Structure 1
Amino acid sequence: MGNPGEKQSIAPSSSVGRVVIDEIRHAPVLGLIVFVPVVILLERIFPDRHTLLFLASVVAIVPLAALLSRATEAVAAKTGDAVGGLLNATLGNLTELVISLAALQAGQYLLVKASLAGAIVTNTLFMLGGSFLLGGLKHHVQEFNRVNARFQACLLFLATIAVLVPSLISEVDQPPALDVSQKLSLGLAILLIAVYALGMLFSLRTHRELFASVSHAEEDEKLWPLGLSIAILVVVTLLVALVSEIFVGSVQAAAEHLGMTPAFVGFIVVALVGAAAEMTTAFSAARANRLDLSIGIALGSAAQIALFVAPVLVLVSYFIGPEPMTLQFWQGAVTMMIVATLAATLLSNGGRGAWYAGVMALALYAIFAFTLFVLPPTNPS
C-alpha cells in the first residue's frame, strides 16, 4: 500500500516538470522567461536606466503572455468559450489596470486616458483583426456566434457614448466647472459598473444558452490539467503585475529618449504590451478554429475596459490620485473609440469571418497609429 501512495505524491511534481520541458521544447519563446528575474534584478541595480528597463520589461512580458495563453485555453476548454473569454479578458486587463493605477497615483492622467482609449481601440481592431486574419489564412471561412458578438459590441457602444457625453459638454460655449465634470463622471462610472454587472448576469446566468460557441475546435494540441492551469494562471498573473510596475516606472523616460510622445506611448505601446497575453490566446484560438473564443476575448476585453476598468479608475482616483479623474477624453480619442466600435460591429455582424476582414480592421488600426505618431493631440484633457 505504501508504493501507490508514494507514486501519488511524486506524480504531480514530475508532471509539472514534464509540462515545463515539453512547453519549452515546442515553444522556444518561453526561453525568454529568464528575462523576468533579469528585469527585476536590473530594476534593483540600475533603477535609473529607464530605456534598458523598458525594453527588458517588454521582452519579459512575452513569455508570460504565452504561459497565460496556454493556461487560459485549458480552462476555457473546461468552462466553455464564453466563460473562457471572460476569464482571459479579466486576467489580461489586470495588466492594464496595474499600469493605469501606477500612472494614476503619479498624476499622469494623459497616460491613463491614452492607455484606456488605446486598449479599447487595440482590442476591437488589432486583436479582432489579427484573429480574423490568422484564422482565415488557415480556414477558408470561420463561423461564430453572432449573438455574443452583437452583445459585446452593444456594451462597448454604450460605454463609448458614456465617454462621449463628458467630452461633448466641454465643447459648449460655456464649459462647466471642473467639479461638475467630476460629478458627472462619478455618476456615469457607477452607472457603467452596474450595467456591466447586469450584462455578466445576462450572458453567464439567465440567457447563457444564447452565447454557446458554434466554432469547431481542433483537438490536435494536448491541454494542461485544470488544477495546473489555474495554478499557472495565478502565478503568471502576479509576475505580469510585478513586471508591469517596472514597465510603468520606466516608460515615460524611455519614451522621451526614443522620441515617442506620451499620447502615442499610452495609446499604442502601453495598450499593446498590456494586451499581450490576451492577443496570444486570441490568435492561437483563431488558428484552432475557435473564433468564438477570439471574439469573446477581443470585444469582451474592450467592453470590460470601458464598462469596468475606466469607471473603477475614476472611483479609485478619489483615494490615490492628486485629484479626481474624469471621463473626459480629448476629441481625437473619442472619435477613434467610436469608429473602432462601429467597425467591430460591422465586421462581426455576419457571423462568419475571413482573412480579408482582418486586413480591413488592421488597416484602420494602422491609420490611427500612424496619425498619433506624426500628429499627437495638442491639448488633451
Structure 2
Amino acid sequence: MLNKIFAFVMAVGVPLSIIGTLMHWSSLILFVIYCLTIIALASFMGRATESLAIVAGPQIGGLLNATFGNAVELIISIFALKAGLVGVVLASLTGSVLGNLLLVAGFSFFIGGLKYKRQEFNVYDARHNSGLLMFAVVIAFLIPEVFSMELKKADTITLSTGISIILIFLYLAALFFKLVTHRGVYQHDKETEGHHEEEPEWGKGKAIAILFIATLIVAYISEHLVHTFEFVAKSFGWTELFIGVIIVAIVGNAAEHASAVLMAFKNKMDVAMEIAIGSTLQVAMFVAPVLVIASLFFDQHMPLVFSWPELIAMASSVLLMVVISNDGESNWFEGLTLIAAYFIMGIGFFLL
C-alpha cells in the first residue's frame, strides 16, 4: 500500500515539478512539491537498495544506498555553493551527521525494537566505525575551527583543502580495508546465514538502473529546490542555519531514512547500521571534503569551519552513538533516546 502511494506521488510529482518550474509557480508550492517528490523517489531508492543487499550482502547494499542517497545531498550542496549559500551547505552537512546518527539510527532502533525486543548487528563493524567517527567529526572538523582563530582567511582555506585531501584518502583506504583486505574477517554470524535464500524484488542490473535514474531526477529537482530556500525562509521566519540543519538534511537524506527503517523493521540491522553510520562517515570524510575542493572553482570558497553549536552538536551525537552502539545490540528505548537528542538539538537550532 505504502509503495503504491509513493509510486503515485512520484508519478504526479515529477511532471508537476517540471510544469511548475516552467510556469514559475509560487516558490512555497514548488518547495512542497519538490520535497514530496524527492521523498517518493527515495522510497524507490530504498527498495533498490534492499534488492542489492540481498544479492551482494549488507555492506555493499548499505554502501550503495549511502552513496546514492548522499549523491542527492552532494548535488543540492553544489548548486547551493554555486548560489553562494556557504552557510546553508555547512549547516546541511551538520544536519546530515545529526540526522543519520540520531534520526535515522534512532528510528531504525525504535521501529525495529517495537517488533523485536533485542536486535543484533556486527559489533566489530560498530567499533571500527566508532574510531572513524571520532576521527572525522571530533578531530578533522574541530582542528580547522581552532586554527582559524589565528589564521588569515586564505590560510584557513589552504588548511581546509589539506584536511579535505587527507579525509578523502583515509575514506578510500577505509573502504579498501572493509571491502577488500579484511572483507569477511570480522563477519557477523547472522550475515552468513543465507541472505541469498530471500528473493530480491529486482535484479542487480534493474536495481542499479533505478538508483541511477532516480538520482538523476532528484538532481534536476534539487537544482530548483535550492532556489526556493530564500522565499521559504522569509515566509516562515526560518534562519539559514535551521534550513540547512533540518530541512535540507532531511530531504537530502530521505533515501537513507526510508531504507534504514525498512531494514530494521525486517531485522536486517547490519544493513540498517551500514546505511546510518556508513552514510555519516561518507558525509564527513568524502562529501564535505569534495565540497570544500569544489568551492575552489566558485566565487565564494567554503572553509571546513563550522560554528561552535554545530561542532558541539555533531561531537555529542558521535559520542552518544559510540556509547549506544558499541555493544552490538539495540532496542526501542535506545532508539527513543537518539530521537530525543535530535529533537533537543533541533529546538536549539530553530531558536538560534
Q: Mark the CA change 1:190 to 1:67 in structure 2 (over 3 Å): closer, same or farther.
A: same
Q: Return the offset for 1:170.
A: 3.4
> Is 1:146 equivalent to 2:134 in the alignment?
no
**2:243 corresponds to which residue?**
265
Aligned mates of 1:273, 1:323 — CA distance in 2: 25
Q: Return the offset for 1:31.
A: 1.1
2:209 alignment partner AA: A
Aligned mates of 1:220, 1:158 — CA distance in 2: 37
Number of equivalences: 347
Pairing partner for 2:174 from 188, 191, 199? 199
Pairing partner for 1:35 from 1, 7, 13? 13
Q: Return the offset for 1:220.
A: 7.8
Q: In the TM superposition, what whole-angstrom CA distance separates every residue of 1:125-158 from its partner, at most 9, and x where no partner exists? A: 1001110001110111011101112222222221
**1:353 corresponds to which residue?**
330
- Aligned pairs for 1:133-212 (under 5 A) are 133-160=110-137, 161-171=139-149, 175-212=150-187
Q: In the TM superposition, what whole-angstrom CA distance separates every residue of 1:89-113 from its partner, at most 9, and x where no partner exists? A: 0000011101110111111110010
Aligned mates of 1:163, 1:155 — CA distance in 2: 12
> Is 1:342 equivalent to 2:319 in the alignment?
yes
2:96 alignment partner AA: A
Aligned mates of 1:70, 1:25 — CA distance in 2: 12
Pairing partner for 1:69 from 35, 46, 49? 46
> Is 1:224 equivalent to 2:198 in the alignment?
no
Q: In the TM superposition, what whole-angstrom CA distance separates every residue of 1:324-362 from its partner, at most 9, and x where no partner exists? A: 211111111011110111111111111111110000000
Q: Return the offset for 1:234.
A: 1.5
Cα contact 2:96–2:250 (8 A) shared by 1: yes
**2:270 corresponds to which residue?**
292
- Aligned pairs for 1:90-105 (under 5 A) are 90-105=67-82
Q: Return the offset for 1:299.
A: 0.6
Q: Return the offset for 1:310.
A: 0.6
Pairing partner for 2:211 from 208, 213, 233? 233
Q: Which sits farther off after the overlay, 337-346 or 229-238?
A: 229-238
Q: Return the offset for 1:29.
A: 2.8
2:45 alignment partner AA: L
Pairing partner for 1:58 from 20, 27, 35? 35
Q: Return the offset for 1:222.
A: 5.5
Aligned mates of 1:91, 1:25 — CA distance in 2: 22
Q: Which has the larger radius of gyration?
A: 1
Pairing partner for 2:279 from 266, 277, 301? 301
> What value does the CA root-mean-square deviation take over the aligned residues?
1.7
Aligned mates of 1:209, 1:221 — CA distance in 2: 22
Cα contact 1:156–1:307 (8 A) shared by 2: no
Q: Return the offset for 1:252.
A: 2.3
Aligned identity (percent) is 38
Runs of 4+ in 1 over 6 A off after TM superposition: 216-221
> Is 1:107 equivalent to 2:96 in the alignment?
no
Cα contact 1:98–1:244 (8 A) shared by 2: yes
Q: In the TM superposition, what whole-angstrom CA distance separates every residue of 1:235-279 from its partner, at most 9, and x where no partner exists? A: 111111111112111122212212211100000110000110111
**2:65 corresponds to which residue?**
88
- Aligned pairs for 1:357-368 (under 5 A) are 357-368=334-345
Normalised to the residue count of structure 2, the TM-score between the two structures is 0.95
Q: Return the offset for 1:169.
A: 2.2
Q: In the TM superposition, what whole-angstrom CA distance separates every residue of 1:354-377 from its partner, at most 9, and x where no partner exists? A: 110000000000000011112x2x
Aligned mates of 1:307, 1:270 — CA distance in 2: 19
Q: Mark the CA change 1:323 to 1:88 in structure 2 (over 3 Å): closer, same or farther.
A: same
> Is 1:121 equivalent to 2:98 in the alignment?
yes
Provide the secondary structure at the position in 2 that maps to 1:209. coil
Aligned mates of 1:287, 1:25 — CA distance in 2: 14
**1:379 corresponds to which residue?**
none
2:279 alignment partner AA: S
Aligned mates of 1:26, 1:309 — CA distance in 2: 30
Q: Return the offset for 1:301.
A: 0.4
Cα contact 1:131–1:283 (8 A) shared by 2: yes
Aligned mates of 1:369, 1:109 — CA distance in 2: 20
Q: Mark the CA change 1:35 to 1:355 in structure 2 (over 3 Å): closer, same or farther.
A: same
Higher RCO by CA contacts (8 Å cutoff, separation 6 or greater) = 2
Q: Which sits farther off after the overlay, 285-294 or 176-185?
A: 176-185
Q: Unmatched 5+ residue regions in structure 2?
A: none
2:18 alignment partner AA: I
Aligned mates of 1:136, 1:369 — CA distance in 2: 24
Aligned mates of 1:351, 1:25 — CA distance in 2: 31
Cα contact 1:99–1:248 (8 A) shared by 2: yes
1:345 alignment partner AA: V
Q: Return the offset for 1:211.
A: 4.8
Aligned mates of 1:137, 1:287 — CA distance in 2: 9
Q: In the TM superposition, what whole-angstrom CA distance separates every residue of 1:191-245 from its partner, at most 9, and x where no partner exists? A: 0011001000000000011453536779787622222212211111111111111
Q: In the TM superposition, what whole-angstrom CA distance separates every residue of 1:171-195 from its partner, at most 9, and x where no partner exists? A: 4xxx311111111111101100110
Aligned mates of 1:222, 1:187 — CA distance in 2: 43
1:246 alignment partner AA: H
Provide the secondary structure at the position in 1 that maps to 2:228. helix
Normalised to the residue count of structure 1, the TM-score between the two structures is 0.87
Aligned mates of 1:210, 1:309 — CA distance in 2: 28
